Amino acid sequence: MIDMVGWKVLSKEEVKDLINYLYENFGIDKKISKKYVYFKYRNGIFLLTSSIDILAKVNPRRVGIKVFKIRGGSLEPTNAIPHIFKSLIKRNVVVLSKGELRELINKGFMRKSLNLPDHTYVVIKYSGIPIGIARYRYSTLICNLSYLANTVF
C-alpha cells in the first residue's frame, strides 16, 4: 500500500471488496479490477487508468475519476459508474421513458414500483444511454440529475 498526503492506493483486499460491490449491485464482471488503479482521497474512491506514479506529481482529483462517495462508512456510487462501465452493467438497470426521465430530472424523485429491495442503487438508462445513478427506496427513485435540466430531455 502506498500512502501520500491525503490519498492512499487501496489494498488488494479493499479492491476485492470494491469489485464485489460492483458485481453484486451492478453485475459488472470481476475481471474489471485489472484495468484500473483504485485509490482513496478524502471522502471518495477514485479510478485511475494510468500508473500510480502520476499521483506523486499531481493532485489526485485531477487524474482519477470519482466512482464512490464514502458516507458514514458506506459506499455511495456516483454518476460516473454508468458512464465508465456502460454495457458491462447487467443488474439493477431501470429504463425510463422520456416523460419519466424528465420528471426525475425536474423533481429529483419519481414514484415507480420495481421488483427490487429498498435502498438499492440502480443505473438509470434512457434510449439505451446510461444517464446516472438513483437510489430506489420505498417505491421511489431518488437522485440528483439536475445538471441535465437544460438538455433535450
Q: Are residues 7 and 81 in the same domain?
A: yes
Compute the distance between CA of residue 70 and CA of residue 152 in angstroms, rounded to an integer.
Answer: 32
97 and 62 within one domain: no
- Is residue 52 domain-resident? yes
- What is d(CA 71, CA 76) in angstroms, rounded to the nearest whole number? 7
pLDDT digits over 117-137, tens only? Answer: 999 999 999 999 999 999 999
Q: Is the pLDDT of residue 138 over 50?
A: yes
Please report, for the domain that includes residue 62, its CATH number.
3.10.450.720
The parent domain of residue 21 ranges over 3-86
Instruction: Determine the pLDDT at residue 2.
Output: 47
CATH number, domain at 127? Answer: 2.30.130
The structure's pTM equals 0.85
Residue 153 lies in a domain: no
Domains in the chain: how many in total?
Answer: 2
Rounded CA-CA distance 150/69 in Å is 26
**Which cell is 129 given?**
444511454
Q: Are residues 36 and 64 in the same domain?
A: yes
DSSP state at residue 52: G
- The answer to whether residues 40 and 80 belong to one domain is yes
Indicate the pLDDT class of residue 103, thresholds 50, 70 and 90.
Answer: very high
Instruction: List, for residues 45-93, the tens digit of each pLDDT value.
Output: 998 876 555 555 656 556 678 999 999 889 999 999 999 999 899 999 9
Determine the pLDDT at residue 133: 96
13-42 pLDDT per residue, tens: 999 999 999 999 999 999 887 788 898 988
75 and 137 fall within a common domain: no
Domain-located, residue 130: yes
In a domain? residue 9: yes
Main-chain dihedrals φ then ψ at residue 27, nearest 5 degrees: 70, 20
